Structure 1
Amino acid sequence: MNGIGIGAATAILCALAVPSLARAQNPIVQTRFTADPAPLVHDGVVYLYTSHDEDDATGFKMLDWQLYSSTDMVNWTDRGTVASLKTFPWAVQSNDAWAPQVIARDGKFYLYAPISIAGRPKNVIAVAVADKPEGPFVDVLGKPLIAPANDNIDPTVWIDDDGQAYLYWGNPDLYYVKLNKDMISYSGQITKVDRILDYQEGPWFYKRKNRYYMAFASTCCSEGIGYAMSDRPTGPWTYKGPIMAHDARATGNHPGIIDYKGGSYLFGFNYELNFAMTPMHHERRSVAVAKFNYNPDGTIPNLHWWDRTSAPQLEALNPYKRVEAETIAWTSRLKRDQDRPYDWAPGVTTAGDAKSGIFVTTTKNRSYIKVAGVDFGSAGAKWFIATVANGLPGSMIELRLDRTDGPVIGTLPIGETGAPGVWQERQTSIAGAIGTHDLYLLFKGSGDRSLFDFDHWRFVQ
């Protein structure tokens, strides 16, 4: 998988420098470009499905769908690729892995995605099924669920209280159909919805407190996020205004809205990582999140733009249990070539295979991972243990609190790790890790190569 990435103090000073829990740093994924967020709450976890813009995309270049998960809304764990165009071998294998959504029903998980087939019109909606949120998702129809039409993109699905499921989709017009209980077929006619003011694409359909909501990307270009409400799952829909106004910094947007642990959250995307690399606009998007409160009448306030809103960390991270190395609040990006000022190499990226699962790779010198709101407790940590592979001589992890130049609590030598692909544990003593802090894992070594692969870590008291 390709992606982008980006002196010691005393124990007393470390204990005094305890920050409050963090806020999400938008965009919340920096190891690759992500778009079209589709959050799903299941068994106390937020599973965030996204589309994926390739690193070299100028227009839309999208081949697969990614998954991230969180229980605190700030630290996100990379769960890898859950499906791709290859999941649907009858589809055109080009660049059309566009906006997905996943929903759970009766112990199964259903992924709806717009893809292309040969001919005109070419846009269809496909469905794949899995036994777990992280997949693997399998094509069960061998053909489209929704037959070809030019408007067939951006599916959104909701199961009402009476068990009836509805599938909406469309750009620039909005359509719906009633799904059967098997979730892979439908009954009745496809219905075109009366025009909703400012609607463009990217619908997100859901119900909350007996009100139905249709959020959407507002009229291009530039796009914002608008929404409409109804007393019925099929409308009529009444436009309620912007959740985020049209903004010149974005030619696109795409909402996903959930309630989680007593709060309400809007997901969308911005282009901040693209513009950190180049002044040119490319379709290289990055998912962001914001917490909000509904108004007493059920309407949604205007959140303006991602630079004015975010989401607080819901709970501290426990460092004394296994933490996947790909659990990240923020990671670095490093410039590769001074003669090419807008060409950047990954600071940290992730990869995966069937044997090892997802792990951190491309750990270059001075790149780092930030893990937010780590609770070391009043007794503090005594040891740090990491599982690594493919280490180079002289490589190490420097552990700092609160900042990249914050207090050093320990340094873990990695060095050579033997045979390629063989995971080994390394450990080092820790001093000064007391209370709640942001943890920075800085990777150190020589040369411009990746220093080691990094699978998981934990502290010991």
Structure 2
Amino acid sequence: MLKQSLGALALAVTATCAHAGNPLFKDIFTADPFALVDNGRVYLYVGKDDAAEGAPTYVMNEWRVYSSCDMKSWQDHGSPLNVQAFRWAKKDAWASDITKRNGKYYMYVTLAHNTVPGKAIGIAVSDSPTGPFRDALGKALITNDMTKETNISWDDIDPAVFVDDDGQAWLYWGNRVLKYAKLKANMLELDGPIHTQGVDKFEEAPYLHKHAGTYYLSWARDLPEEIAYATGPGATGPWTYRGVIMSKNTGVHTIHQAFVDFNGKSYIFYHNAKLPTGNDYRRSVAVEEVRYQPDGTIAFVDQTAEGPAANPGPGCK
């Protein structure tokens, strides 16, 4: 009976909904959002900032996942993946991304490697968007010794995955230098060399999405970071710089964006430091509606406390 009661309690906790303005989640510090639209819901994945108030660095041990059918009420599904799932890694559940292919969900994650100095990118896989996820390779896909463009140990971070309409998958990542490569159809191997791309004042957080036939490459520009973007005719450009669409934060140097289209509207997720005691290592994920101009450019996005209006889809309760 005790075991059944505990199970029911855990289910109740998991099913708790947050009726959110910004920041979306008030009970924990969250950062580095990435998102997936699947079967009428938006699944939002975040890193969890566990640094104590006044701590001098990041403390991040797990990713968490929430979902919504209306962009306003968010269901907490707990942690689908943590650092301990990767035997080759030692810490740092940093910025990551997700995609769905052939009925499986693939997370491309940033971690600190056990034996190769510096950050690395691994892959986790699950049959469900809420996990649990497992290490798909048993090793890193990309390690710091594979890229020589900078002398820093954190230049292989912030993976972003994009699957084009023709089925070709691409991976983008980097700090100081934007890198990208093709992925094989199995989503577990690079398919060819690693390329670099020059964009204006690139700092980190590359992200590629497609809207109304145009490809949009966005990134965290400068430091403290603002969100800039370029447009192009394909997944590798050529890119035309379009400008800044979100201003620098106060209280935190980073910003980290992700885009989704949902129920006929478009949205951008990002993080700031708007919760009490928030700072560089205690961040908060938020969301705003995105508006595309008639010429395809993105209108400047203000950070708001209200966030977007509710946008329920069919069957949303």
Q: CA deviation at 1:207?
A: 1.5
Partner of 1:53: 49
Query: The residue matched to 1:86 in structure 2 has which SS?
Result: helix
Query: The residue matched to 2:300 in structure 1 has which SS?
Result: coil
Do the aligned partners of residues 119 and 140 (structure 1) sit closer, same or farther apart at CA in structure 2, a change above 3 Å counting?
closer
Partner of 2:277: 277
Alpha-carbon separation, structure 2, partners of 1:272 and 1:247: 9
Alpha-carbon separation, structure 2, partners of 1:30 and 1:190: 39
Q: CA deviation at 1:24?
A: 4.6
Alpha-carbon separation, structure 2, partners of 1:316 and 1:143: 39
Alpha-carbon separation, structure 2, partners of 1:197 and 1:287: 25
Equivalent of residue 167 in structure 1, options 156, 165, 171: 171
User: Any gaps of 5 or more consecutive residues in structure 2?
Assistant: 1-18, 146-152
Alpha-carbon separation, structure 1, partners of 2:252 and 2:293: 26
Query: The residue matched to 2:144 in structure 1 has which SS?
Result: coil
AA paired with 1:203?
A: P
C-alpha deviations, 1:422-452, integer Å up to 9, x for none?
A: xxxxxxxxxxxxxxxxxxxxxxxxxxxxxxx
When the two chains are superposed, the root-mean-square deviation of aligned CA atoms in Å is 2.1
Partner of 1:116: 112
Equivalent of residue 206 in structure 2, options 203, 208, 211: 203
Confirm or deny: 8 A CA contact 2:253 2:280 kept in the other structure. no
The two structures have a TM-score, normalised by structure 1, of 0.60
Equivalent of residue 74 in structure 1, options 51, 72, 75: 72
- Aligned positions of 1:345-384 closer than 5 A: none
Equivalent of residue 28 in structure 2, options 25, 32, 39: 32
Partner of 1:188: 192
Q: CA deviation at 1:56?
A: 1.6
Query: The residue matched to 2:143 in structure 1 has which SS?
Result: coil
Alpha-carbon separation, structure 2, partners of 1:128 and 1:43: 21
Equivalent of residue 219 in structure 1, options 213, 219, 222: 222
Q: Quick check: 1:237 aligned with 2:239?
A: yes
- Aligned positions of 1:251-266 closer than 5 A: 251-266=253-268
AA paired with 1:32?
A: I
Equivalent of residue 84 in structure 2, options 63, 66, 86: 86
Alpha-carbon separation, structure 1, partners of 2:282 and 2:167: 38
Confirm or deny: 8 A CA contact 1:24 1:289 kept in the other structure. no
Partner of 2:123: 127
Give % identity. 40
Alpha-carbon separation, structure 2, partners of 1:277 and 1:252: 16
The two structures have a TM-score, normalised by structure 2, of 0.86
Alpha-carbon separation, structure 1, partners of 2:44 and 2:250: 26
Partner of 1:152: 156
Question: Between Structure 1 and Structure 2, whose CA radius of gyration is higher?
Answer: 1
C-alpha deviations, 1:326-362, integer Å up to 9, x for none?
A: xxxxxxxxxxxxxxxxxxxxxxxxxxxxxxxxxxxxx
User: Any gaps of 5 or more consecutive residues in structure 1?
Assistant: 1-22, 322-461
Partner of 1:176: 180
Confirm or deny: 8 A CA contact 1:112 1:127 kept in the other structure. yes
Alpha-carbon separation, structure 1, partners of 2:97 and 2:210: 16
Do the aligned partners of residues 241 and 133 (structure 1) sit closer, same or farther apart at CA in structure 2, a change above 3 Å counting?
same
Alpha-carbon separation, structure 2, partners of 1:129 and 1:318: 28
